[in-house]
Chain A
Amino acid sequence: MFEEIGTTTEGDLIINVGPQHPATHGVLHLVITLNGETIKKVEPHLGYIHRSIEKMCESLTYRQFIYVTSRMDYLSAHINNQACALVVEKGMQIEVPERAKVIRVLMAELTRIASHELWWGAMAMDIGAFTPFFHAFRERETINDIMEETCGARLTMNYMVPGGVMQELHSDFQKKVKEFIKLFKLKIHEYEELLTGNIIFQNRMKAVGILSKADAISFGCTGPVARGSGVSCDIRKIYPYDAYDKVQFDEVIETAGDSLARYMVRLKELHQSISIIEQLIDNIPEGDFQAKTKAVLKLPKGEFYQRVETARGEFGVYIVSEGGTTPHRIKFRSPGFSNLSALDHMARGSKLGDLVAMMGTLDLVIPDIDR
């Protein structure tokens, strides 16, 4: 498990980064072969948080397995739950009321903003700028308070259920979200002044970790990693679900393929999320928040696949059902697994200090990769 630290006969040095390391955002173990300070090969060793979720879900019912997906990619917990609820609704042909669809989209976009905030703060801290971390968490706390009033929890909220959402919105929800949006628009301006225009930051990110468009498609990258290289792959636009076909927003694409492009994609996505929330917050339709479903859910025999766009990329749930109350096989297609396989290709030939900037822009959450 642990490579010997030493030199090989050609003069190469093999070092370990992690599994316990402040910059790896979880437990990722990288074995890096160096020649001086130039990287020759990066090999990820995974499995330090492999909790055997797919085996465990084979003995959970269709209402129970949703809580486990909140803990896989915990920064976009609502969106993962949305994928599971959608796949069960697709299999059982349940019709979701309009109010529930709009509430789901609002919660998903708030989660996307919170996830990008934490990414921004943590990435800046890895590069060496400590101040953005505190600014980012300040806004994230506001979103967490809004979520806590309605859903009951700050991080792993199990709010989406097959049929709609679990309970009604809190009466202060609309007021607080509108206040948050007004405040947040000023704060985005502050973020751009603080970090984006900084000459040191730009020198660390420009032309670092270049991923070409053909490579991004071949490695299976999705989300901001692929959109930073010019691939158009936003699931909300191509295969819309819930209320995404009723809102207007742009898909953000940059063509440079380096770390700065991936950074700019995420910052611009923050603007798009704000615009989606503004379009919907005053027009939540009246009605039920949950469709009537049977107490015990049974999916018919067959296979079902549902994909959603999380903050990291395309998350897919693939269920093979034999007709019972528990699934025969569940596979979670996680975005981080494919994004990580591009790291070796991006890092060859660059310096060790640039590796941290690349890992930061890939936005990896390791429990999502190991499942």
Chain B
Amino acid sequence: MTEQKQNTKPFPGQIEEIPGGGIVLSKLDDIINWARSNSLWPLTFATSCCGIEMMATASAKYDFSRFGFEVARASPRQADVIIIAGTIVNKMGPVLKRLYDQMADPKYVIAMGACAISGGPFFYNTYSVVKGADHIIPVDVYVAGCPPRPEALLHALISLQQKIKAGLTREQIKTTNE
């Protein structure tokens, strides 16, 4: 992913200065991706300990609203990104699937913490833990840690924004990396 040409300019496109203002020349796809990535609204979904670190990222010291994640919606119909913070167990699996289905396209998923990536510390000898949230829904970004520091979660959010600005769909990313 990092070999992709990153959009280092603040705004995608060429700006030509003319007297009285300027003309912006760009692709419509680039502008839409830029707008989408800077205004992702997360869904409040925290099952266990990683939820506290997500709340800490939302609060004043490691604020994530400066990246556009200001409004955390409680309803999945109004959210863009779901941050799975915590362990998913067999009883919670259908609930997660139903929430994901209710979200409107385009939607993104961040798996935060070791439990959401692969079952984490509860991998061996448990009868009720789903060993990784990607058994249920497709995941875009994985954040390692138990729990990850707020800076790690911010890095994940910025990576998601870069992924959106690069503009590839999920199938295209799979074929370019192979």
User: Are chains A and B touching in the complex at the 8 Å CB cutoff?
Assistant: yes
Q: Which residue of A lies closest to B95 (CB)?
A: A19
Contact flag A56-B122 (CB < 8 Å), given A50-B91, A51-B87: yes
Instruction: Digitize B107-128: 1 where CB-to-A-CB distance is under 8 Å, 0 elsewhere.
Output: 0000000000000011011111
Contacts of B51 in A (CB 8 A): 26
Counting chain A CB atoms within 10 Å of each CB, which of B44, B59, B87 scores highest?
Answer: B59
CB distance from A22 to the nearest CB of B (A): 5
Complex alpha-carbon distance, A49 and B87, angstroms: 7
Q: Which residue of B lies closest to A148 (CB)?
A: B149
Chain B binding surface, main DSSP class? loop
Looking at the complex, which one of A48, A56, A68, A74 makes contact with B52 (CB distance below 8 Å)? A74
Give chain B interface residues in 40-79, CB to chain A under 8 Å.
43-49, 51-53, 55-56, 59-61, 74, 76
Of the four ranges (under 10, 10 to 19, 20 to 34, 35 or more), the interface on chain B belongs to 35 or more
Q: Which residue of B lies closest to A144 (CB)?
A: B56
Contact assessment for A137 and B74 in the assembled complex, using a CB-CB cutoff below 8 Å: no
Question: Is B132 in contact with chain A by the CB < 8 A criterion?
Answer: no
Contact flag A19-B53 (CB < 8 Å), given A133-B59, A156-B147: no
CB distance from A74 to the nearest CB of B (A): 4
Interface size on A, residues (CB 8 A): 37
CB distance from A294 to the nearest CB of B (A): 25
Complex alpha-carbon distance, A367 and B52, angstroms: 13
Contact assessment for B121 and A155 in the assembled complex, using a CB-CB cutoff below 8 Å: no
Question: Is B86 in contact with chain A by the CB < 8 A criterion?
Answer: yes
Question: Is B99 in contact with chain A by the CB < 8 A criterion?
Answer: yes
Contact assessment for A20 and B89 in the assembled complex, using a CB-CB cutoff below 8 Å: no
Contact flag A27-B92 (CB < 8 Å), given A137-B56, A138-B59, A138-B60: yes
Contacts of A21 in B (CB 8 A): 74
Question: Is B94 in contact with chain A by the CB < 8 A criterion?
Answer: yes
